[in-house]
Amino acid sequence: MDVIDEVTRKRAADAEREVREKYPEAKVRYEVRGRRGIITAYMDAFVLSKEFVETDESLDDPKLLFEYSQVLRRRARLVVLVPRGRAAAFRLKLLELNNNWMSYYQLHYYEEWGDIRLVDRETWRRLISLPPEEDPAEMD
C-alpha cells in the first residue's frame, strides 16, 4: 500500500473519532487524488473539518494557501499533513496564514512508514534543532 493511502486512511479514522466527540452524527469521507489525500468531516451540508495529506509534489502547488484560506473562511477546522522533512518550513507558512485568518488549524507530519505526529511548538523546535524552551516558573 502507498504511504499516502495509508496515512490518509489512518488520519480519516482519527478525524472521525475527534469530530464525533462533539458531533456524534457527523460523517467522514476520504479520497486520494493523484499524490494527495483529502479528508472531509461533515454534518448535513456543513463542513466541520477539511484535511489534506500533502506530498512533496503537492506542496509545490502555489494555490495551496488559497485553498486552505477557503476552508478557514468557511469556519471549518483545517488539518494539514506533510512529509517530516517539510514540516518545519511548512509550519512557518501556516503561521503566515494564521496572521490573516486567526482560525483553527493543525499541522502534522508523517514518516515514510506511515507514523503521524502533531507539529506543535515544541516539536517544531526539535525539528529545527533548537533546545526546549525554558519554563519561566523554573527560572525563579
C-beta neighbour count of 101 within 10 angstroms = 15
**Structural domain total, the chain:** 1
In-domain check, residue 137: no
In-domain check, residue 67: yes
Mean pLDDT computed over 18-31: 95
Report pTM.
Answer: 0.87
State the residue range of the domain holding 108.
Answer: 3-127
Share in percent of the chain as helix, strand, coil (round to 5): 45, 30, 30
Q: What is d(CA 57, CA 33) in angstroms, rounded to the nearest whole number?
A: 12
Closest CA to 51 of 26, 31, 80, 88: 80
Gyration radius of the chain over CA positions? 16
Please name the helix (run of DSSP H) or strand (run of DSSP E) that holds residue 64, with its range, or none.
helix 64-73
pLDDT in tens, 42-88: 999 899 999 999 999 999 999 999 999 899 888 899 999 999 999 99
Looking at residue 132, its pLDDT comes to 83
